[in-house]
Structure 1
């Protein structure tokens, strides 16, 4: 996927996102915060306006698309980059996981990998922040924060299809 960015003097910025079928999604961000979204059938064609959003609504829709409101867990692993080196990732706990049935304090995840479990999604309940006494249960989704290397170490520690695989 390629994204083209260009300045629109006096207006704001334009981003064109190449889609798999050759079409382009065009997002114009005005200096006022307003966003306009267009769809172009190809790079050289004019775009058809799909919709526009206020700054506040665009930010809300963006967080929904990013996964902050609802994170589907059908995928094996989900990650969100929070900064240059910080990731937020979701891992599902299976019945084969070594951590299933352990308290966070017993699992020693932070000491062993460097990541922190910042939340646990359990059915319709969000445990945030979990305490050292919180028990990791089969079916939980662990929300983990750490740098790329620590997340990779966490994933390796949980390897063999235990979590996130």
Structure 2
């Protein structure tokens, strides 16, 4: 599937796709943070048939509903030239077993370390072990590929803690 990125001067940007059923839809990301879901007219793919404005929290809820895969964004970082070291952003999903738990609870030997937490517009660097995580937090972690994968799996697991989940 191809995602088109269409700049909208003075408004923001539209990301548009055409589904396999030939329905065109888009998400407009306004510079204000608002998001609009746009369904286009099947007979005129450049004309909006329906627009659904969403507040930022509503957009996150919809994204949680649609997101069945875990996305790890790898960061461009000057330290990445070290062999085997990577930095990644991991979003804590709603329903994560770690939502409402302290950062110390994430420490079981994954081989990766959380070095910052992004909460809304705030960046908390070097968070203390008693820092409490919330869904929609974005955790910035460093480690090797296996450590980042293990940490991502652990944080995005929505099953209760059991020995098999560690």
Please indicate the TM-score interval, normalised by the length of the shorter structure. Answer: 0.3 to 0.5
Task: Compare CA radii of gyration and give the structure with the larger one.
Answer: 1
TM-score by length of 2: 0.46
